[in-house]
Structures are given as structure tokens and as C-alpha cells.
Amino acid sequence: MPTADRDVVLVTGATSGLGLRLAEVLAAQGATVLAHGRDRARVRALTERLTAAGGTVRPYCADLSSLREVRTFARRVAEEQPRVDVLVNNAGVGPGPQDGARELSTDGHELRFAVGYLAPYVLTRALVPRLLRARAGRVVNVGSGAQVEIDFDDLTMAGFYNGWIAYGRAKLALASLTVDLAAELGPRGVAVSCVHPADLMPTPMVRRTGLAPRSTLDQGAEAVLRLIHGTGGADTQPGHYYNGLRPESPHPDVLRPDRRERLRRVTEELLAAEATAADICHLDP
């Protein structure tokens, strides 16, 4: 259980890349790290390694491409943790190789949109009561400068698919969610921000694109940790968006209330349809 003087930080996608570096640093700093990953063996290995080094780590395993698993994950965190001081929505699916094919999630959504946006949407909203119990709650969304306008008439990208566009749509949606959450939770004491940590860090996600890294993991971690610890001015930055250590304006659609309202409406419709379908599939014969 978390103690009164130990921050409780949930990091999604904590078993590789930036998420792994964040988990390592936070555990060394004395936080209780709620380490999420998709692969149970890797989550267990990370937990054992950081615990052996003196850290306090709690393992959580969930496939974020399944909204049912996201909800189960959120319930488990809420049951086991009286509060969550910081939620870092880091997990995502990268653009993939140049000629990569379109992929769908367990629920039939475009995969990058599902993992990079719908999962953080559901997880964050489910954990709001725990964030409100924190001394100074924070949500840090790991975004990207590669934001792309969303085509609401083809959310699954059945008509046209490109991995970079799919990735960019998910990141624009995440930045839009950040603005909405900041307006909703900021007055209640929870700061919300979105950050493009660094350009092309040496992560598995970047390696799959075939592009050469341009930044280090430590550079990316510094930008995220700055917001985790509340030293980035996230409460006052318009759009609550950062490019590394610098405040920056996100894609223009992120700051348009009409585009955000349409995204909210479409999102709630998708989630309502998914929940209804799941209930039908699990009716007793």
C-alpha cells in the first residue's frame, strides 16, 4: 500500500522504451511505481529487478487494445490503491514500417487510435476519483508533434491507410483529451499536460519505423519527469502541450472547441457501442 510520504505513479507501457526508463528513475527516486505492461513475464521481470534494487513496484498486466481489459485494469488499480498521485499515459503503438498494413484492435477500432487514445480516455476517466485523492494529482499524456487532422467519417481508416497518419490521428486525439481534462480537473486540483518528449528516441517503436534515432531516452525522460514532478508550468500553458522542455502550441484542431466537442461525441458513441456489444456477447445462453 502507498504511504503518506510516497508518490504513487502509474506508468503504462513500462516494460520498454521511455516507459521503462521512467519506471527505473521513479523507483530510484522513491515513488511507488504501478508498472503496467502487456506481457506478464516482462512485467514480472521488471518488478523483480526494480524491487531487488530497493524500489517499490506493483505489477499490472493488461492489453490496452481491449477496452474490456482496460476497464478491468482500472478497477484493479482503484481497488488496490487508495490514491494515484500521477497517471502517465505512455503506452502506444507507433507508425510501424513504411508499408505496414492497417490493423484493428480487439474491439474493431483502428489499432493506433484504440491504444493511443481510447485506452487513455477510459483509463483516465475511471481513475479520476483516485487522482482527486492525491495531494497534487497529475495526468501526463505522452504525445507527439506528429499530430494529424482526424477524418471522422473514416475512423477505422478503411478507405485509406498510412501508419504515420494513423499514429498522428491518435496523438491529436490525445492532445485534445488533454485540453478537455485540464479544463475539467484543473479547478479540482489535478493538473493535466501533454508532451512530445523528444524526437525519435531509441525505442522499439522507433526501430520498427526504420528511422535512425535523433534523441536519447534520458532526454525524453527529462521532459516527462518535469511534468510528473510539477515543474513544467502545466497549469498555465495554453493547450497544456510541450515539445520537450518547451511550451508549444499543439495542432490547431486541438484548440478548436467544435473539433474537440465532435471528438468527445464520437468517442462516447464508440465506447457506448463497444460496451453494448460486450454485454450482448457475454449474456448467459
Whether 218 and 21 have beta carbons less than 8 Å apart is answered as yes
Residue 280 banded pLDDT, cuts 50, 70, 90? very low
As a whole number of Å, the end-to-end CA separation of the chain is 40
Using DSSP bridges, classify how beta strands 246-247 and 241-243 pair: parallel, antiparallel or unpaired: antiparallel
To which H or E segment does residue 142 belong? strand 138-142
The Cα 196–Cα 97 span in angstroms is: 21
To the nearest whole percent, how much of the chain has pLDDT over 90? 79
Q: What is the pLDDT of residue 210?
A: 80
> Residue 233 — very low, low, confident or very high, per pLDDT cuts 50/70/90?
low
User: Structure pTM?
Assistant: 0.92
pLDDT at 205: 80
Among 170, 184, 152, 2, smallest CA distance to 89 is for 170
∠ CA 64-272-78 to the nearest 5 degrees? Answer: 50
The pLDDT, as a whole number, for residue 237 is 59
Contact by Cβ (8 Å): 155, 109: yes
- Nearest C-alpha neighbor of 177 from the set 115, 273, 263: 263
Q: What phi and psi, each to the nearest 5 degrees, are found at residue 20?
A: -65, -45
Give the mean pLDDT of 9-15.
98
Contact predicate 146/164, CB 8 Å: yes
> Is the confidence at residue 2, as pLDDT, over 50?
no
CB of 61 closer than 8 Å to CB of 38:
yes
The yes-or-no verdict on residue 234 having pLDDT over 80 is no
Q: Given this model, what pLDDT does residue 3 score?
A: 42
Asked if residue 131 lies in contact with residue 150, where contact means CB atoms within 8 angstroms, the answer is no
- Quote the CA–CA distance of 70 and 255 in Å, as a whole number: 28
Cite the DSSP H helix spans in 116-240.
Answer: 119-132, 163-185, 204-209, 217-228
Burial class (CB in 10 A: 0-12, 13-18, 19+), 112: buried
Distance in angstroms (rounded) separating the CA atoms of residues 62 and 115: 11
Residues 6+ apart with CB under 8 A from 55: 27, 28, 33
CA distances from 241 to 58, 86, 208, 233 (A): 29, 17, 26, 10
Is CATH 3.40.50.720 correct for 8-278? Answer: yes
Which residue carries 526504420 as its cell?
A: 210
Q: Would you please indicate which residues are annotated as catalytic (active-site) residues?
A: 167
